[in-house]
């Protein structure tokens, strides 16, 4: 199905030889703040520290990842977990232990059907457009004459295959949108965590015919019961509500909610199906007589498939297979990649055209400080065949670029940075598919490089409901923001359900019922932000250093604002490695040369730096002073 090439030798920052991994040189840019890219609140996210990396070894970046850092181009950042609106926990997965969920298996099978020519992309695109466009042709109530044909088109494909699974998925998205509209119409100050709608097919034996055989029950959804339960829990948490008990029981009943949702669905359109509430359920009925529908289905199955075919050696007819290649290349600018990125950002993330420029693309996804490490040969068991560094993994379908995964390959892991894909192929769930491919790549590479065992998915943000998908890759671990220990997700989840910022390594104390008030601040803000990204969002967001503002720092606020890192605040900075005019000197050897009036503030700056990167890295990386 897929073939992989060895890494190209072009581009990317850094040099590096066969046995030389270079040195790391960073510039301290202090603490910064910028608009949060993970929520729509308009709040600022504080960054405890920012570094600009002129060069960075893969070993040092691996160590930074394991202390909660990430990179955006050459800019390194670590969120201030106590201050940010969306606390971001580093999440990783041991590839050899990965177990695929049913949904992930379905994604792989869907891709295989697509490559085998059994999944019609043009047909799926048309259905997506019909079900995801407000006021489209499917929602035109006056067009009764075509309702039967539309219903047939939604449920039966041109090749005669049942499209129920796809239709259920698309109708589920419609119900989700209706639920959001319903909640927005209510005067609720706290955010309601809506369940995900699931539309199910009604078994033939249980289908009911209505209105003298003119309608048939096809699908049903019970989300109204779940919403009613969620609203009642919310009112109970808030305390005394505005309504009386009787009013609550009426307004929040599944029956009333289902009727409201069905009215919203009429506006959204349901592809020729009629949505109607029935005892708390949302039912979808066909608008054609059963006999007419069956006859239409028989006729459709007799139609020739429009999919190109070819003759096999045995004379039987086979569908034309598609070829998917996954190519690994060094991080360099590629115009084809840029145009795909621009299309993705404009259509999927709704960016403005002036925001998506070549320069911003290069700063975000092409520029890299990582020093490339080239394998010494086939006998080298310490480095994968592509080497260590920054790469773009291209997904090429029959010669056309359809997705690009931006990744860093490090001594212990593949760190997934960003993915952009062709919006025309959204039905293939390329975000999920690429993650599964990257996990498989780690498994294969571990045979050559035993230390390369983990898949890092970037930041996990429990307070952003649409960023929780990363936890579906199991068994995963989250990094404790205080002691930098890895805690299994199943243990961390109950803690994060209670509050946004948690010292995860204190989970044992929580089990014994001890108070953790002294270990961390209890988050008073219960608001959960909605992600501005679609499901299966990319791992990182663009951190635009041009738009960041620096936070003024002095001795008085350094203690409260410095991110706790497990090291004392008066950490010894005597061995911090400084880069001064091309020389490499320890601070203890040059501290006497500093102006005494400026030495104290500089030492505070060095202490903050040593705290956030760790003593080992502060003694190893070059702290550039020009």
> What average pLDDT does the structure give for the chain?
76
pLDDT in tens, 519-567: 333 333 433 444 444 545 566 655 555 555 555 443 333 333 344 433 4
Give phi and psi for 73, each to the nearest 5. 65, -125
Span 594-598, mean pLDDT? 87
What is the token pair recorded at 271?
A: 């592809």
pLDDT at 382: 86
d(CA 261, CA 281): 10
pLDDT in tens, 256-276: 899 888 887 875 555 568 888
Q: Which of 99, 114, 15 is nearest to 389 (CA)?
A: 15
d(CA 336, CA 156): 36
pLDDT at 314: 52
- Within 8 A by CB and 6+ apart from 577, the residues are 584, 585, 586, 618, 619, 620, 621, 622, 623
Q: pTM of the prediction?
A: 0.66
Q: How are beta strands 549-550 and 583-586 bridged, if at all?
A: unpaired
pLDDT in tens, 67-125: 999 999 999 999 888 887 788 999 999 999 999 999 999 999 999 999 999 886 555 55
Exposure on the CB side of residue 66, measured as CA atoms within 13 A:
18
3-state SS assignment for residue 271: coil
């Amino acid at each position: 199905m897929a073939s992989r090439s060895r890494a190209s030798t072009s581009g990317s920052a850094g040099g590096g030889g066969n046995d030389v991994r270079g040195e790391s040189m960073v510039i301290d840019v202090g603490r910064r703040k910028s608009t949060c890219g993970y929520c729509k609140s308009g709040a600022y996210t504080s960054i405890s520290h920012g570094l600009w990396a002129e060069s960075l070894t893969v070993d040092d970046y691996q160590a930074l990842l394991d202390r909660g850092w990430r990179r955006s181009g050459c800019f390194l950042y670590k969120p201030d977990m106590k201050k940010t609106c969306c606390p971001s926990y580093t999440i990783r997965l041991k590839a050899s232990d990965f177990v695929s969920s049913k949904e992930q298996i379905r994604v792989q099978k869907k891709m295989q059907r697509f490559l085998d020519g059994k999944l019609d992309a043009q047909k799926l695109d048309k259905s997506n457009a019909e079900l995801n466009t407000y006021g489209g042709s499917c929602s035109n109530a006056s067009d009764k004459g075509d309702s039967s044909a539309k219903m047939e088109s939604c449920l039966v494909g041109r090749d005669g295959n049942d499209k129920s699974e796809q239709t259920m998925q698309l109708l589920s998205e419609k119900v989700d949108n209706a639920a959001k509209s319903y909640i927005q119409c209510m005067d609720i100050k706290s955010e309601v965590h809506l369940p995900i709608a699931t539309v199910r097919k009604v078994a033939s034996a249980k289908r009911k015919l209505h209105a003298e055989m003119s309608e048939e029950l096809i699908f049903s959804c019970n989300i109204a019961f779940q919403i009613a339960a969620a609203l009642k829990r919310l009112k109970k948490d808030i305390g005394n509500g505005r309504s009386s008990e009787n009013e609550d029981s009426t307004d929040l009943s599944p029956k009333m909610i289902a009727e409201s949702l069905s009215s919203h669905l009429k506006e959204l359109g349901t592809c020729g199906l009629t949505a109607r509430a029935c005892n708390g359920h949302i039912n979808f009925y066909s608008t054609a007589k059963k006999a007419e529908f069956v006859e239409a289905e028989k006729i459709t199955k007799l139609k020739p498939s429009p999919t190109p075919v070819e003759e096999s050696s045995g004379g039987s007819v086979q569908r034309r297979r598609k070829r998917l290649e996954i190519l690994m290349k060094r991080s360099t600018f590629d115009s084809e990649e840029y145009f795909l990125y621009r299309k993705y950002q404009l259509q999927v993330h709704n960016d403005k055209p002036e925001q998506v420029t070549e320069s911003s693309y290069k700063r975000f996804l092409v520029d890299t400080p990582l020093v490339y490490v080239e394998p010494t040969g086939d006998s080298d068991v310490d480095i994968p065949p592509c080497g260590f560094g920054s790469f773009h993994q291209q997904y090429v379908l029959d010669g056309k670029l359809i997705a690009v995964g931006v990744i860093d390959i490090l001594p212990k892991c593949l760190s997934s940075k960003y993915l952009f894909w062709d919006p025309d192929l959204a039905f293939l769930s390329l975000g999920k598919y690429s993650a599964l491919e990257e996990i498989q790549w780690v498994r294969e590479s571990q045979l050559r490089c035993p230390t390369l065992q983990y898949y890092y998915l970037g930041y996990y943000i429990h307070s952003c409901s649409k960023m929780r998908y990363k936890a579906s890759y199991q068994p995963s671990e989250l990094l404790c923001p205080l002691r930098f220990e890895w805690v299994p997700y199943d243990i961390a989840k109950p803690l994060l359900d209670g509050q946004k910022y948690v010292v995860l390594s204190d989970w044992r104390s929580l089990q014994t019922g001890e108070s953790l008030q002294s270990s961390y601040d209890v988050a008073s803000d219960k608001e959960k932000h909605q992600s501005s990204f679609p499901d299966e969002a990319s791992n990182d967001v663009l951190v635009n250093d041009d738009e960041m503002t620096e936070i003024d720092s002095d001795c008085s606020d350094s203690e409260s604002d410095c991110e706790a890192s497990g090291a004392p605040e008066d950490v010894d900075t005597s061995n911090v490695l400084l880069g001064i005019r091309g020389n490499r000197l320890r601070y203890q050897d040059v501290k006497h040369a500093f102006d005494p009036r400026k030495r104290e503030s500089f030492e505070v700056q060095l202490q903050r730096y040593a705290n956030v990167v760790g003593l080992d890295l502060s003694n190893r990386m070059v702290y550039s002073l020009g």
